Chains A and B, each alone.
Chain A
């Protein structure tokens, strides 16, 4: 099971910087130009602001006070326009073209890197909600977030530069005015940190309440709940959750309002009116009473404090964003550096043929749960047809997961051709099996591609998949479509896409497992939820498979015992252990669990005079 990496819990400044640097390095390796271009773009927007608010106005007023010629003003203004024109030309190009191109490039490169990793992490990671919420979600957003992380970082850096420049400019004229920036600094970085913490706490406290309200929303609008709601009064009960949620939110407003109002008010007053009006009053006093400040300098200082204060505020926001990004990147790194317990890249033996499979005293438990398999042993040889039957939750599907090395056994060993499964390359082992999963997925590709599942189509592969489709019995149906077996499945991208029925999907799944040409087949509940005729067709497909594939090992999992009869050995699982094994005939003689299950299913299909009830049979037995 996945373990936490050390980076996640650490909120320190160093980790934040390290994590951001990690992301920037990744971006740099993909598109270094984007980093420089973004920095220049951020510089342009800050520069334009600072220039017009401070330098431009100061120059103009100075020209008036010092009676410069109109001509020199024209030269200055036009010169500034030419420089700004170049910078804005650059940002227009950046915004409309360069940023778009590099975004796609990043998106592609980051996605490929992550997809590769995503298909390697243990399947267990997907079933572990903590890993999934923390790491997998981080990875699925990475392509979009990468750009934002760069933008936030570049914004913060230029923001800091601009703030230093403005404060320096102010200090050059009057160091005392520069001291006014002390108030927005305290307000932003001291009080601001406090209010941020409180807001964060507040929104955390609101989460469970919002979830309740969102649940009510889901229940009333999702189709799957619609019938129950209309046929019962359950919504009256569910609706109460909304009121609970609303009451919770109001209680939180009350809980936090006093402290938030006081802190936010003080913060805002210190950032805005206190320094804005304070500096005006101060410069007016110097210009009017002390008479040692020019009008141009006074106006410039009054403008500069507004810019400085706003820069300090956006700087604080920038820090918060970068820190949040740091946490996000930690999760992403957790995903990227995750070492799969079952490593696909680990070197090992290759295996291409399968003479025997042996489970030797295998036990397995999902982390933190009761064992699902206890001391299971069995052997199957080439050509063996094996069925696993038992109650829901008896451990049938787990055996398959171990066999495919989606998990490793907790105790005991699994031997392929007499060697421990762990000695082989994972990829090589997985190639041995063609599998029909219970939760089979159809991809938004053509029907034939859904069977081949290969990157490139070839003539021989196409032939092979056609014959696999014939064995499973889906070929005729597909060939009749206007685009034949090249018809696109699902309506994901194509409103004319083909939507297959459950039975057809099962047949498609069987074709997929056959075309792989693997020495073993695994069929997990291939006939559930089908009508009798469709079920019968699947059984026929299985029978054809058994007939055609005499050399293959076949595992069948089913709680429809009628399907198990075809197997030459049936293993009955109960509560994680093998309780009975043998052929159908042997097991029927044995009078154990299998026979009881079989009789219960069969009872009603038989003529009533044979057995009037299971109870009667049980009495006889």
Chain B
């Protein structure tokens, strides 16, 4: 554990040294050198000056010493100003850039599975998104640590040289205040822990009142009263916790802050020093003042250390996360055949086969797919239908190898898809999802999606085919229009229906053999939906198309329909065959269709 703390902090030092050596070195030395300057300015100076006055030394001695301190203090300020305004900001950018590049590279390829377990996601994945701030904080802690250590060593050495007995008082003060502060921290941590869930309730109520999502509901229903009660109850509970827990904390703070700090150092130690001077005549005035300053600095410094060391530990835990993230290797990639053994993708559209596939999401017990087998023939359209949660979307995720199957195998052109290069294999698919997203870049980028050397005419054509043409004609900057106003005041916000058309244009643009459409028409009104279906079917004549939809009017056009229930295929065939079968599919179809019979 201790070794880990050192090794992790050492890791971050080394890492930032490689990215920005000057910044790293100066960060380590800056506070340490400050401690040295402060020693000459505040610990040694009073002794030097008072002794000079008391023992009638020549004024020139004082003059030279003052000039010396002035010069080193000024020099240090100059260096630190340059550090703060140039070296640190530049260094931070350099370190972050290096680290974020590596992290992004891994994060953008991380298995989708990593998002599924909310605990793992919050603890690990989302935590990493703060790595830039955290690595800077880690470096900062190291900086403070080195500064405080220098401080303690210099003042401590001075203390021992002049009057070693003073160490006894410092040690007593430190031991006592540490002991009581530790107990206090424990208690206050326990208090925080006890009221945290209650605070979350209050925060929840707070959120409800200020979020637009709830505004209408609150104005139409007497819900506010119930929420006030929830808030008030949480508050009463919090007060109870404070009432029952804080009495001993008062005593502990008092003991640590007064008895073991003020009283021992400024009371007992001072009386001891005064006795040394007045009764024993063993010390000069100047030495006494400096000793007092030094002892305060040593005990202050040691207390600082007791704060910094837990921080070091906390940072270490975080750095551990960064390290293991940087060492993360995709499971999917691990499952992959090694580069030399990889198969080339066929140059024609090949059949895709699921052979006895089962799948369970990690961390859950219920299998989503069980023993599913079928084949998508090339150039045919396939529809997958079923209830919400039947496993339809999971099936497409397996298809595109966003997950690997637990049992069974998926074959493309008769070869297990793990035998192909992952990125090349995924390149076979053009897909729109229920939850497609637009990106804050140009419309063209949102259609070509980063494909090298995009073809502008093709992009425009794809947008026209998806029904976006009319809107495009109204856009002054055409496909160079920025989407969202995130970074561009001239940017355009698209409505749900328009956004969906852009998502479909992506598929039409990407000239790929297999198209996957997951609920492509949910946000569209009837006429747009109709036009869109036409566009896709026209496009798809020489491709394999996989539809997922609740609107059975859309799916009935497919060459083959698979009805899924609870992770199994229960019916398959053409629309006509399934209607003749008069099973679940026919039931669902009739439910929808009967509403359109006049």
A274 to chain B, nearest CB (A): 8
Beta-carbon contacts under 8 Å, B417-440 to A: 426, 429, 431, 433, 435-437, 439-440
Beta-carbon contacts under 8 Å, A228-277 to B: 228-239, 241-243, 246, 249-250, 253, 256-257, 260-261, 264-265, 268-269, 272-274, 276-277
Q: Whole-angstrom distance between the alpha carbons of A276 and B72 in the complex? A: 13
A16-24, A156-164, A313-321, A430-438: which lies at the interface:
A430-438
Let me know if A289 and B270 touch, CB within 8 A: no
Let me know if A453 and B221 touch, CB within 8 A: yes
Let me know if A533 and B588 touch, CB within 8 A: yes
A71-79, A360-368, A473-481: which lies at the interface:
A71-79
Q: Which residues of the other chain, A, contact B387 by a CB distance below 8 angstroms?
A: 531, 533-534
B313-321, B337-345, B375-383, B520-528: which lies at the interface:
B520-528
| B580 interface hit (Cβ, 8 Å) | no
Q: Which residues of the other chain, B, contact A241 by a CB distance below 8 angstroms?
A: 440-441, 487
| B162 interface hit (Cβ, 8 Å) | no
Let me know if A211 and B222 touch, CB within 8 A: no
Q: Which residues of the other chain, B, contact A298 by a CB distance below 8 angstroms?
A: 49-50, 53
A235 to chain B, nearest CB (A): 5
Let me know if B97 and A246 touch, CB within 8 A: yes
Let me know if A233 and B451 touch, CB within 8 A: yes
Question: Which of A52, A119, A229, A264 is within 8 Å of B266, CB to CB?
Answer: A52
Q: Whole-angstrom distance between the alpha carbons of A268 and B115 in the complex? A: 49
Q: Whole-angstrom distance between the alpha carbons of A233 and B441 in the complex? A: 13
Let me know if A531 and B209 touch, CB within 8 A: no
Let me know if A503 and B429 touch, CB within 8 A: no
Q: Which residues of the other chain, B, contact A78 by a CB distance below 8 angstroms?
A: 267
A224 to chain B, nearest CB (A): 6
Q: Report if A88-B258 is in contact (Cβ < 8 Å); known contacts: A118-B210, A588-B598.
A: yes
Let me know if A215 and B104 touch, CB within 8 A: no
Q: Report if A272-B77 is in contact (Cβ < 8 Å); known contacts: A215-B440, A230-B112, A604-B553.
A: yes
Q: Whole-angstrom distance between the alpha carbons of A453 and B74 in the complex? A: 67
Q: Whole-angstrom distance between the alpha carbons of A406 and B218 in the complex? A: 11
| A175 interface hit (Cβ, 8 Å) | no
Q: Which residues of the other chain, A, contact B86 by a CB distance below 8 angstroms?
A: 253, 257, 261
Q: Whole-angstrom distance between the alpha carbons of A287 and B108 in the complex? A: 71
Let me know if A220 and B77 touch, CB within 8 A: no
Let me know if A234 and B450 touch, CB within 8 A: yes
The contact size tier of chain A is 35 or more
Q: Which residues of the other chain, B, contact A299 by a CB distance below 8 angstroms?
A: 46, 49-50, 289
Let me know if A597 and B267 touch, CB within 8 A: no
Let me know if B450 and A284 touch, CB within 8 A: no
Q: Whole-angstrom distance between the alpha carbons of A208 and B596 in the complex? A: 52
B389 to chain A, nearest CB (A): 7
| B323 interface hit (Cβ, 8 Å) | no
Q: Which residues of the other chain, B, contact A285 by a CB distance below 8 angstroms?
A: 59, 62
| A539 interface hit (Cβ, 8 Å) | yes
Question: Which of A123, A443, A449, A516 is within 8 Å of B208, CB to CB?
Answer: A443
Let me know if A223 and B115 touch, CB within 8 A: yes
- Of chain A, the residue at the smallest CB distance from B579 is A607
Let me know if B426 and A231 touch, CB within 8 A: yes
Let me know if A501 and B388 touch, CB within 8 A: yes
Give per-residue flags for B428-471: 1 if the beta carbon is below 8 A from chain A beta carbons, else 0. Answer: 01010101110111000110011110000000000000000000
Q: Which residues of the other chain, B, contact A428 by a CB distance below 8 angstroms?
A: none
Looking at B197, B228, B429, the one whose CB has the most chain A CB atoms below 10 A away is B228
B198-206, B348-356, B363-371: which lies at the interface:
B198-206
Let me know if B278 and A453 touch, CB within 8 A: no
Q: Report if A227-B112 is in contact (Cβ < 8 Å); known contacts: A249-B93, A430-B220.
A: yes
- Of chain B, the residue at the smallest CB distance from A454 is B222
Q: Whole-angstrom distance between the alpha carbons of A106 and B115 in the complex? A: 39
Let me know if B59 and A289 touch, CB within 8 A: yes
Q: Whole-angstrom distance between the alpha carbons of A119 and B226 in the complex? A: 13
Let me know if B258 and A84 touch, CB within 8 A: yes
B5-13, B121-129, B135-143, B166-174: which lies at the interface:
B121-129
Question: Which of B100, B200, B388, B591 is within 8 Å of A493, CB to CB?
Answer: B200
Beta-carbon contacts under 8 Å, A303-335 to B: 306
| A40 interface hit (Cβ, 8 Å) | no
Question: Which of A228, A237, A269, A606 is within 8 Å of B77, CB to CB?
Answer: A269
Q: Report if A242-B242 is in contact (Cβ < 8 Å); known contacts: A84-B258, A601-B526.
A: no
Beta-carbon contacts under 8 Å, B525-548 to A: 525-530
Give per-residue flags for A550-561: 1 if the beta carbon is below 8 A from chain B beta carbons, else 0. Answer: 000000000101
Question: Which of B112, B271, B556 is within 8 Å of A604, CB to CB?
Answer: B556
| A409 interface hit (Cβ, 8 Å) | no
Give per-residue flags for A87-103: 1 if the beta carbon is below 8 A from chain B beta carbons, else 0. Answer: 01101110111001100
Q: Which residues of the other chain, A, contact B528 by a CB distance below 8 angstroms?
A: 391-392
Let me know if A57 and B289 touch, CB within 8 A: yes
| B277 interface hit (Cβ, 8 Å) | yes
- Of chain A, the residue at the smallest CB distance from B596 is A602
Q: Which residues of the other chain, B, contact A100 by a CB distance below 8 angstroms?
A: 242, 246
Q: Whole-angstrom distance between the alpha carbons of A219 and B484 in the complex? A: 14
Q: Report if A493-B226 is in contact (Cβ < 8 Å); known contacts: A61-B289, A70-B274.
A: no
A4-12, A108-116, A145-153: which lies at the interface:
A108-116
Question: Which of A217, A221, A230 is within 8 Å of B402, CB to CB?
Answer: A230
Let me know if B226 and A453 touch, CB within 8 A: yes
Give per-residue flags for B88-116: 1 if the beta carbon is below 8 A from chain A beta carbons, else 0. Answer: 01100100110010001001110010010
Q: Report if A85-B557 is in contact (Cβ < 8 Å); known contacts: A127-B212, A257-B85, A295-B54.
A: no
| B415 interface hit (Cβ, 8 Å) | no
Q: Whole-angstrom distance between the alpha carbons of A109 and B128 in the complex? A: 38
Can you offer 24 A-B residue contacts whose CB atoms are under 8 A? A70-B278, A107-B235, A208-B487, A215-B486, A217-B129, A230-B426, A231-B402, A231-B426, A246-B97, A268-B77, A276-B73, A277-B41, A284-B52, A295-B50, A392-B523, A454-B222, A454-B225, A516-B221, A533-B588, A536-B591, A539-B595, A561-B526, A601-B553, A603-B530
Apart from A60-B274, A232-B451, what 16 extra A-B contacts exist at CB < 8 Å? A231-B402, A232-B450, A234-B446, A235-B450, A265-B77, A265-B78, A269-B77, A295-B53, A344-B219, A392-B497, A392-B525, A404-B220, A532-B591, A534-B387, A536-B592, A605-B553
Q: Which 10 A-B pairs have the closest CB atoms?
A: A455-B225, A562-B595, A233-B450, A604-B553, A602-B596, A232-B449, A126-B212, A605-B593, A273-B73, A453-B221
